[in-house]
Chain A
Amino acid sequence: MSAEASFVRIQASRGWSPLDLAALWEHRELIYFLAWRDVAVRYKQTVFGATWAIIQPVLQMVAFSVFFGQLAQIPSNGIPYPIFSFTALLPWNYFSTALSKSSNSLVGQQNLINKVFFPRLILPISSVLAPLLDFGIAFVVLLGMMVFFGIAPTPAIVLVPFLVVVCVMAALGTGLWLSALNVDYRDVGYIVPFLLQIWIVATPVAYPSSLVMDAWLPVYGLNPMAGVIEGFRWALLGADVPVLLLSESVVVSLILLVTGGLYYRRAERNFADVA
């Protein structure tokens, strides 16, 4: 980098700041190392290690199948209930972990904010990347289950990466809002677990979105995870294509991401003083 390029003027900033994606690209290695740290530390000093990434969703699936599938007789549109719920639990668990990690990413790493300069957006970004590994591990199990249940993937399986991206955007967008709010309002720490409990009920994890009345579907689709999860069922299990839910999901995720980023950038100038 030339000296000319690295001229910096430090002064008080006012109003909205641009997202400054160039600075993020400049620091991409730091994003990688922080995400890698979260992965490396995650299962230290545990007996089962990364197996937890499999144990957790599998046990959830068993519980869902027994209570919702068998006892409550919740329909799964002709798909075996275990794989119907497991396909939804994967993106949901990723979203839930990513959201709680990222909303705590600033408050939990005050020491970094107070002592080192780097684009502050890096903290929530790296914290939504780390849980992707667990998702990847559990996804292999899902493929195994598809073989077991004899379900052939549809050609739409190539869209799975796209669905993952939408899911990451939804988690990051919400995480940006909550992590920035968390600096000023520690109430966020109490809201997030509660919010996720409500959110999973409002998301078609244990039931299909076809249970929702058509008139309410556009409102239901404002939950970006609804489109993502029905999208997974479509791409992997051959369920109906959720056109409305998925398009709403993409739009809402993008809005969350951009507004979250802008709000975060506006709030970040006080992080070191308040945190």
Chain B
Amino acid sequence: MSDLAVRVDNLGKRYHIGQRAHYNTVRESFSNLFTAPIARLRGRPISRPPSTHFRSNTFWALRNVSFELRQGELLGIIGRNGAGKSTLLKILSRITEPTEGTADIRGRVRSLLEVGTGFHPELTGRENIYLNGAILGMRRAEITRKFDEIVAFAEVERFIDTPVKWYSSGMYTRLAFSVAAHLEPEVLIVDEVLAVGDIAFQQRCLGKMEEVSAGGRTVFFVSHMMFAVTRLCKRVMLIDGGQVLADGPADGVVDQYMELIGGDGSGARTWAVPDSSHDGAVRLCSVRVRLESGQVADEVDLRYPVAIEMQYDVLDPGLNLVPSYQFFNQQGTCLFVSADSGRASRPSGVGHYTSTCWIPANLLAEGKLYASAMVSSVDPYVVHIAAHHAVGFDVKNPVATDPHRAGYTGEYPGIVRPQLEWTTTVASLPSSAHALVQPLRADR
């Protein structure tokens, strides 16, 4: 297998749902032990409810998964919750066995499926570094060698001899990630661990991950944060329903994932039966993208305002409801959140509501956008209904006719493109500068 680090062949994992034959009490096992032979003697079928139950209630968390990974390659794995990503990582980490198929791995494997596994609250930061390091597979000498680096990366120098139960959650997470970030395996398996910590720390973690993969290590990286996946991975695999749906260049696969979670990504979504899946206080009926004309659209021109409208029924009269939207781009980055926060101060009352949010002209950048709709109350904070990626629409910019581009037809980067107020003033140059201007002209 020359430079292959991982070869997965037809891997599958079957789980039993509902009552497990395994999870009996001793009493049941013992009574079976005695009743089964008697039943057999009497020529009756042996009654084994858990067992029959169990055969009809199996499901494949993962099936027919095959792929190869070269040494030093970084594979992003994406998919919805319950798609089978974590099962795949658990098999590759040898935490659980596959039901069928094989996976060949060359090199030391270390996996990071959770930040801070085995941390003990009563132990100090220093003690936990050693304990956690050993659990993750580091040698004591290796931990000692990297100790200062780990502490510095986590920024907990002052508290290193304090029990971690007194750490803030941020410090705790930083320390835990820092230990893991200093692993030096040949194959690294990482599951959704960047979702913790503040933005600044996330950025440093991403940097660390880039360092790791640049160092020639083979990395599996599972995340729901598409910006992290597209930044880190050239190759991405999309898993859905336990099967590999796509495996290829990051951008294409991420697009496919966004389509998958956004339904058909169209400008209007209505619920035949209003969606009251959360607490029943609010039922969502529809979410639509509308142009100024009121027309429902899948495509909008960024030079004009666009309205996102949601219709919902309020069934509980006593709630101070706030409708809101979150806007995401194709990379999964949240562009901004907008809420009708003026409504938080008074009860909404029972009724059929239509709430519309106007996005001003010249704010959005080109590309596909998704809006998630939500109705919540603030004090206490309760989400009464939410529709993730309820609608999707293409933001277009007709290059040739846009006066704001002033004839510029190249790429316009950025996740938003607001039209901002500018001031430019001009004054005459001081006289000493004229002397410099003259020779320049003379050169020509």
**Which residues of A are interface residues toward B (Cβ below 8 A)?**
1, 3, 6-13, 29-30, 32-34, 36-37, 40-41, 44-45, 111-118, 184-187, 269-270, 272-274
Contacts and interface: CB of A to CB of B under 8 A. Distances in A.
B171 interface: no
B95 A117 contact: yes
Contact of A115 (B25, B95, B97): B95
Contacts of B96: 272-273
B140 A6 contact: no
B185 to A, nearest CB: 10
3 smallest A-B Cβ distances: which pairs? Answer: A33-B134, A10-B103, A117-B94
A130 to B, nearest CB: 13
A98 B332 CA distance: 51
B106 A41 contact: no
A33 B139 CA distance: 11
A6 B20 contact: no
Interface string B92-120: 11111111111111111101011001101
B98 A117 contact: no
B297 interface: no
B104 A7 contact: yes
Best-surrounded residue of A6, A41, A115, A184 (most CB of chain B within 10 A): A115
B434 interface: no
Contacts of B98: 10-12
B217 to A, nearest CB: 12
Interface in B388-427: none
Given A6-B106, A116-B135, A184 B97 contact: no
Contacts of B103: 9-11
Nearest to A111: B117
Contacts of A41: 120, 122-123
B39 to A, nearest CB: 23
A270 B96 CA distance: 7
B22 A10 contact: no
A8 B25 contact: no
B122 A44 contact: yes
Given A115-B117, A185-B25, A37 B131 contact: yes
A24 to B, nearest CB: 14
Contacts of A273: 15, 96
Contacts of B106: 3, 6-8
B357 to A, nearest CB: 41
Contacts of A40: 122-123, 127
B127 A116 contact: no
Contacts of A113: 95
A266 to B, nearest CB: 12
Contacts of B29: 185
Contacts of A117: 93-95, 109, 111
8 contacts: A8-B94, A10-B91, A11-B102, A29-B140, A112-B117, A115-B117, A116-B113, A185-B26
Contacts of A13: 97
B34 interface: no
B130 interface: yes
A116 B136 contact: yes
Given A10-B105, A11-B101, 14 more contacts: A1-B108, A6-B107, A8-B105, A10-B97, A10-B102, A10-B103, A12-B97, A13-B97, A29-B134, A33-B135, A115-B113, A116-B95, A184-B23, A272-B96
Contacts of A10: 91-92, 94, 97-98, 102-105
A8 B110 CA distance: 13
A13 B27 CA distance: 28
B186 A6 contact: yes
Contacts of B22: 184, 270, 274
Nearest to B127: A40
